[in-house]
Amino acid sequence: MAYGEQLERKRQRVVDAFAAHAPSLRVAVEKPMRAVRLFGYRNQVKLVARQVRGKFVLGVYKPGTHDVVDVSQCPVHDALVARALEVVRHAVEFEGVPIYDEGTREGWLRYVAVRSSWMRKTTQVVPVVRDRRWQGERRFVERLRRARGVGSVVLNVNDTPGNTIFGEQFVAGTKYDALVERVGGLKLKFHAGSFVQANLSAARRAYAKVIELAAVSADEIAVDLYCGVGAISLSLATTAKFVLGIEASPSSVRDAIENTRLNGVHNARFRAGEAAEILPGLSSELPRVDVVTLNPPRKGASEDVLAAIVALAPRRIVYMSCNPETLARDLERLSAAGYSTTSVHPFDFLPQTDHVECVAAAER
C-alpha cells in the first residue's frame, strides 16, 4: 500500500475508535507523524524457534494457528537485528542445537529475542531455552558471543507451557548483559526483559510530544505511570521539581534507577509495583501532583487506576497509547470525571502494519 494511504488508514482507525468508544468527545485527530524509515526500522524482535519440514525457522505464528512463518529476513528489521539473526541461524545449525517441539515438549531452544543499539552499533541476543541441561549450551553461547556485532548474550530459561515468551530467570552469558541506547538527550540502559519500544526513532518523537503537552514547570511535581526504564520520567525531570516513576516490572525499575545515575538526574525516583496499589497513597506522600503521564499496555488503564489519578487532581493528564480503542475508552471515562481532551496526535511507529501509536492530553 502506498505510504500516504497507510497514514490515512491509520488516522481513520483513530477517528473510528473515538466514534465508537468516546461518542461524547469532540476531538481533532491530527495527521499521523510520518516514520523516518519505512523499512529497516525495527530495533527489537521476538521470534519463535521451530523445525519446519526439517529446516530451522525463526518466525511468528500465522494468525489463528501455531504454524510458524519464517520472518528472519523481514524487511522491517533494522540492519543490526537482521545480521544478528543470521548469526543465530549459523550458530544453531553449526552446533546442532535441539529445537523445542511444543507438542512433545522436547528440545531446548524455544524463542530468540534480539535488540539493537545504534549508539554502540551492537546487539543483544536472548535465546529462550527450556532448561540448562543441554551439554552444548556453553559452545553455543560462546559462538554467539564471538560473532561480529553481538555485544551481549543472555539466556532466558522458560519451561512453562503456553505462549509466554520469557521465564523469570535470566542468565548472563557475557560480561555485558545490557544495551545502552540514546533516546533524545538521554542515555538509557536496558537489560533483557525490560520494556523498550520496537522503533526507538519513532518513540523519540512521541516522547517529545508527551513532554511538550505535559509542559511541567520548575515548581511542579509529575507522576509517570508504566514508566519502563524511565525515558519519559527522566525527560520530565529536566524541567520538573520532582518526578516519581511507577512501573510493575522490577527489572525495568532497576534499569530506571541506574539510568538516573547514568544521566546525572537527582530529582527523579522510581517505585516498583502496580499503579492501582501505589497511587492511592501518594496524596499523603507528595504535597501535590500537578501532571500525570501514562503509557499503559494495550488493555489500557483500569478503572481503579483512572479513579486514583482523578483523586490526585492533576491539572493535566498526558496519555500515550498503543491502542486507539482503549485510549478512546479511557479518555471518555476521564471526561466524565471532569477532564477534557481536544486533540489526539497519532504517530506511525510500525510502517507496513496497521499499528498506530497516539498521544493525547486531558485538561482538568
Give the catalytic positions in this structure: 322
What gap in Å lies between CA 119 and CA 46, rounded to an integer? Answer: 21
- 3-state SS, 119-182, equals CCCEEEEEEEECCCCCCCHHHHHHHHHHCCCEEEEEEEECCCCCCCCCCCEEEECCCCCEEEEE
Which residue is it, cell 500537578? 290
What gap in Å lies between CA 28 and CA 176, rounded to an integer? Answer: 46
Asked if 327 and 300 count as a contact pair (C-beta separation under 8 A), the reply is yes
Q: Which one, of 293, 114, 108, lies nearest residue 212 by Cα? A: 293
Rg (CA), the chain: 21
Burial of 276 (0-12, 13-18, 19+ CB in 10 A): middle
Element holding 352 (H helix, E strand): none
Beta carbons within 8 Å of 12's beta carbon, 6+ residues apart: none
What gap in Å lies between CA 296 and CA 282, rounded to an integer? Answer: 19
